[in-house]
C-alpha cells in the first residue's frame, strides 16, 4: 500500500517553489508511479482546448495521444470534475483501452487555483479492483496542494 503521508511530504518538498504545470505534472507522475506496485501507468492528460485532453507527462507504456471529454474514464473525470474510481474497466461504458493489460483505473480531475479543470491524473492497474476511496482521497489532496496554488 502507498505511504501517502510520506508521498505527500516528498512531493511538497520537490515542488515547493515550482509553478510550471508541466514540470509539476512530470514530477508527480514519477513520484506517484513509483510509490506503489499497483500503479502500472501513471500520467496526466492536459486540457488543451475546450472538450479535449492531450497526453502530458507520464510513467509507463505509451498512452492515448488525445481523449475527447465525451469518451472514456478520463473524459468522464474531465467533463464532470469528479473522481472516477473504476474497479473493472470492461464494465465502464465507452472505456478506451490504451493498454490491453489495464483491469482497473482511477482518474482524478486536476483543478488550478481558480477551480478550473486543467488536466486529469490517470492511474491504471493490471489488477482488478486495485483502487479504493483512500487512494482517491489522498491523491486528490496531493493534487490540490500542488495545483491549487497556481
Q: 84-121 pLDDT, tens per residue? A: 999 999 898 878 877 788 999 999 999 999 999 999 99
Q: In this structure, how many other beta carbons lie within 10 angstroms of the beta carbon of residue 69?
A: 19
44 pLDDT tier (thresholds 50, 70, 90): very high
Q: Are 142 and 7 in contact (CB under 8 A)?
A: yes
> Range of 63's domain?
4-147
Number of structural domains found in the chain = 1
Q: 124-144 pLDDT, tens per residue? A: 999 999 999 999 999 999 999
Q: 50-90 pLDDT, tens per residue? A: 999 999 999 999 999 999 999 999 999 999 999 999 999 98
pLDDT of residue 88: 95
Mean pLDDT score of the chain, rounded to an integer? 96
Q: What is the CATH classification number for the domain harbouring 84?
A: 3.30.450.40
Structural Rg of the chain based on CA atoms: 14
Class of residue 126 by CB neighbours under 10 A (exposed 0-12, middle 13-18, buried 19+): middle
Rounded mean pLDDT, 35-59: 98
pLDDT of residue 99: 76
Amino acid at each position: 500500500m502507498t505511504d501517502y503521508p510520506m508521498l505527500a511530504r516528498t512531493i511538497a518538498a520537490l515542488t515547493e517553489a515550482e509553478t510550471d504545470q508541466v514540470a509539476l505534472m512530470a514530477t508527480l507522475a514519477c513520484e506517484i508511479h513509483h510509490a506503489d506496485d499497483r500503479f502500472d501507468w501513471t500520467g496526466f492528460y492536459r486540457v488543451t482546448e475546450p472538450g479535449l485532453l492531450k497526453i502530458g507527462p507520464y510513467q509507463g507504456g505509451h498512452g492515448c495521444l488525445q481523449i475527447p471529454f465525451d469518451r472514456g474514464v478520463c473524459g468522464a473525470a474531465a467533463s464532470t470534475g469528479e473522481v472516477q474510481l473504476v474497479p473493472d474497466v470492461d464494465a465502464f461504458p465507452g472505456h478506451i483501452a490504451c493498454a490491453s493489460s489495464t483491469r482497473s483505473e482511477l482518474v482524478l480531475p486536476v483543478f488550478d487555483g481558480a477551480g478550473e479543470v486543467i488536466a486529469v491524473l490517470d492511474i491504471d492497474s493490471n489488477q482488478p479492483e486495485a483502487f479504493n476511496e483512500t487512494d482517491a482521497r489522498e491523491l486528490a489532496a496531493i493534487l490540490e496542494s500542488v495545483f491549487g496554488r497556481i
